[in-house]
Amino acid sequence: MAQVIAEVSRTFNEFLLLPNRTRTDCSPATVDLRTPLVRHLAGERSAIELGSPFTSAIMQAVSTPDLAIALARNGGLSFLHHNQSIQDQAAAVRQVKNFKAGFVTSDTNVRPDDTLSHLVAVMRRTGHSTAAVTHDGTATGRLLGLVTSRDFHPQRHDLDGPVAGRMTAVADLPHAEADTTLSEANARLWDQRLDCLPVLGAGGHLQYLVFRSDYADNKRFPNQAVDAAKRLRVGAGVNTHDYQERVPALLEAGADALCFDSSDGYSDWQAQALSWVKKHYPEIPAGGGNVVDGEAFTFLAEAGADFVKVGVGGGSICITRDQKGIGRGQASAVLDVAAARDAFRERTGEYVPICSDGGLVHDYHVALALAMGADFVMMGRYFARFDQAAGAKLPTRDGFVKEYWGEGSNRARNWQRYGQGGEGLIFEEGVDGYVPYAGDLNEGLATTIAKLKTTMVSCGSVTLPEFQSTARLTLVSDQSFQESHANVTLRDTPATIA
């Protein structure tokens, strides 16, 4: 007869944190959000630590190189999705690893004989007002000059004339060599009163542009997730089908960590794939999942997983529970797996971090997931709302939205993640939709981090391990859940009245 688990399957909305005593040393400024990413000896440091406990979902709609760069600069990590060719995924990894803060690969490029009206169109498309003029119109062509929107006027200059007529030629242009550091470039920007300094490699080919504004911008990120060579860290999703070809290519490209990505990770396929990676590439961390209970966690930890992802069916775009009747409330899943993680540590002396993946709808859900024992969280919907995510930004009557679609939707058709038998999906396990547009990741994440820090302060914690070990949670009734929300008629802002 089937076993029925006595405990009800619960989700984050059913819990609240009780405030603990806040000591005088607890303040948002003293909160340290560092967290381990990979397996390590208990009491020692993880070989990879995140500066903040956020990872972005292994999804087409979410984890682009741009998003990975922005998230790593904020201390988190993206796992670039594997629902693309091995070559394309490796190129995406390289793009993140080659990112040099403040050194921009020019996206506004023209040839010298292009017309000014073509230049205007290119500037309009990219939104940038400085263009590189290269011999072949590419970002890495031989630099012939720079032209900015201040160099010509639509009424004063013939827009059918060539760009070469209005550019500042490279001979008159201060430029830097390839080995220039950001602080040297910055010194020249100020000393020579420049807005932009091109960096040239062999044969005068353009490598990067350094802008004054980017240098200031870089100072905003003291908490970046970087490797020993100070390159941003990036993870990569892999599947249990083509890992023997995909893994070497991703490692060659510089991926810092891998994650086997499956809607149900409690499988022999995943254990075999993890053992293969451990045997051939023992130095590269590889996570597994997804699981929802302690038994499955222990299975993957024993198979060598360096971290384990928790969550089945809770994702905002996920219909696995409707379609297959499989899953578990995310809070119950995290609590159960965290207990198994602690038991595994007691038994083996090894700490295997866990990640709460999916179903985090409000910022405070992040705090709850961490308090319940997650070492870091993974989010799809949250990151899909930002400029850096892949989905198109579309206008609606009520403002902008961004596209967001599940890996199990017909749009993504990631059959490697769902294993319905053979190549392809027989039925959908995800939907294709929209999320409200939320602007720039840096600003949105800063607000979420501020809320997390103040919650931790209220709970008397300045580190995540302290938060996890001292948090007190209470279940909420339907009635007290109502009490959580504002209970007045909200005043309309002038903008909405108009």
User: Is 270 an interacting residue with respect to ligand RVP (CB under 6 A)?
Assistant: no
> Cβ(239)–Cβ(277) under 8 Å?
no
Please give the Cα distance from 83 to 263 (Å, whole number). Answer: 14
Nearer to ligand RVP, 423 or 492 (CB): 423
In the complex with ligand RVP, the residue whose CB is nearer, 15 or 382, is 382
Percent helix, percent strand, percent coil in the chain, to nearest 5 = 35, 20, 45
Closer residue to ligand RVP, CB minimum distance, 409 or 416: 409
Choose, by CB under 6 A, the member of 109, 316, 416, 455 that binds ligand RVP.
Answer: 316
Residue 318 in contact with ligand RVP, rule: CB under 6 A = yes
- Between CA 334 and CA 327 the distance in angstroms is 12
Rounded CA-CA distance 339/350 in Å is: 14
Contact by Cβ (8 Å): 449, 33: yes
Q: 């293969």: which residue's tokens?
A: 276
Q: Is 143 in the site for ligand RVP (CB under 6 A)?
A: no
Q: Could you say whether residue 379 binds ligand RVP (CB under 6 A)?
A: yes
Site mask, ligand RVP, residues 5-44, x = CB under 6 A?
Answer: ----------------------------------------
Which distant-in-sequence residues (6+ apart) come within 8 Å of 273 by Cβ?
238, 240, 243, 260
Interface pick for ligand RVP out of 108, 262, 409, 455 (rule CB under 6 A):
409
Q: What span, in angstroms and rounded, lies between the C-alpha atoms of 131 and 385?
A: 29
Q: Which stretch binds ligand RVP (CB under 6 A): 129-137, 278-286, 380-388, 391-399?
A: 380-388
Which parts of 418-447 interact with ligand RVP (CB under 6 A)?
429-430
- Beta pairing, strands 472-475 & 432-436: unpaired
Residues contacting residue 489 through CB under 8 Å, at least 6 positions apart: none
Helix (H, G, I), strand (E, B) or coil at 308: strand
d(CA 464, CA 392): 35
| Known active-site residue 417 | yes
Nearer to ligand RVP, 189 or 441 (CB): 441
What whole-number distance in Å separates Cα of residue 298 and Cα of residue 224?
A: 32
Residue number, 349 or 436, with CB nearest to ligand RVP: 436
Q: Identify whether 318 is a catalytic site residue.
A: yes
Question: How far apart are CB 162 and ligand RVP at their closest, in Å?
Answer: 49
User: Minimum distance from CB of 405 to ligand RVP (Å)?
Assistant: 7
The correct pick among 380, 391, 433, 460 for binding ligand RVP (CB under 6 A) is: 380
Do residues 306 and 297 make contact, with C-beta atoms less than 8 angstroms apart?
Answer: no
Establish if 264 lies at the interface with ligand RVP (CB under 6 A).
Answer: no
Q: Does the protein bind ligand RVP through residue 311 (CB under 6 A)?
A: yes
287 binds ligand RVP (CB under 6 A): no
Query: If binding is defined by CB under 6 A, does position 328 make contact with ligand RVP?
Result: no
Taking the C-alpha atoms of residue 171 and residue 223, their distance in angstroms, rounded to an integer, is 39
Catalytic residue (choose from 26, 196, 259, 318): 318
Q: Which is nearer to ligand RVP, 95 or 316 (CB)?
A: 316
| CA gap 299, 244 in Å, rounded | 22
Residue 17, classed as helix, strand or coil, is: strand
Q: Angle at which helices 243-253 and 268-280 pack, to 10 degrees?
A: 40
Are 351 and 49 in contact by the 8 Å Cβ rule? The answer is: no
Q: State the catalytic residue, choosing from 39, 355, 417, 459.
A: 417
Among 81, 233, 246, 381, binds ligand RVP (CB under 6 A): 381
Amino acid, res. 254: G
Q: How distant, in Å, are the alpha carbons of 117, 315, 320, 379 from that of 297?
A: 60, 19, 20, 20
In angstroms, the CA 242 to CA 258 distance is 14
Q: Stretches 65-73, 183-191, 212-220, 308-316: which one binds ligand RVP (CB under 6 A)?
A: 308-316
Which C-beta is closer to ligand RVP: that of 317 or that of 371? 317
In the complex, the smallest distance separating the C-beta of residue 319 from ligand RVP, rounded to whole angstroms, is 6
- Is 57 near ligand RVP (CB under 6 A)? yes
Phi and psi at residue 104, to the nearest 5°? -105, 130
Hey, which residues between 346 and 365 contact ligand RVP (CB under 6 A)? 357-360
Please state the closest distance from residue 359 (CB atom) to ligand RVP, in A. 5
User: Based on CB atoms, which residue is closest to ligand RVP, 78 or 461?
Assistant: 78
162 binds ligand RVP (CB under 6 A): no
# binding residues, ligand RVP (CB under 6 A): 24
Kindly list the residues in this chain that would bind ligand RVP in the complex (CB under 6 A): 57, 59, 290, 311, 315-318, 320, 357-360, 378-382, 406-409, 429-430
Q: Which residues are catalytic?
A: 318, 417
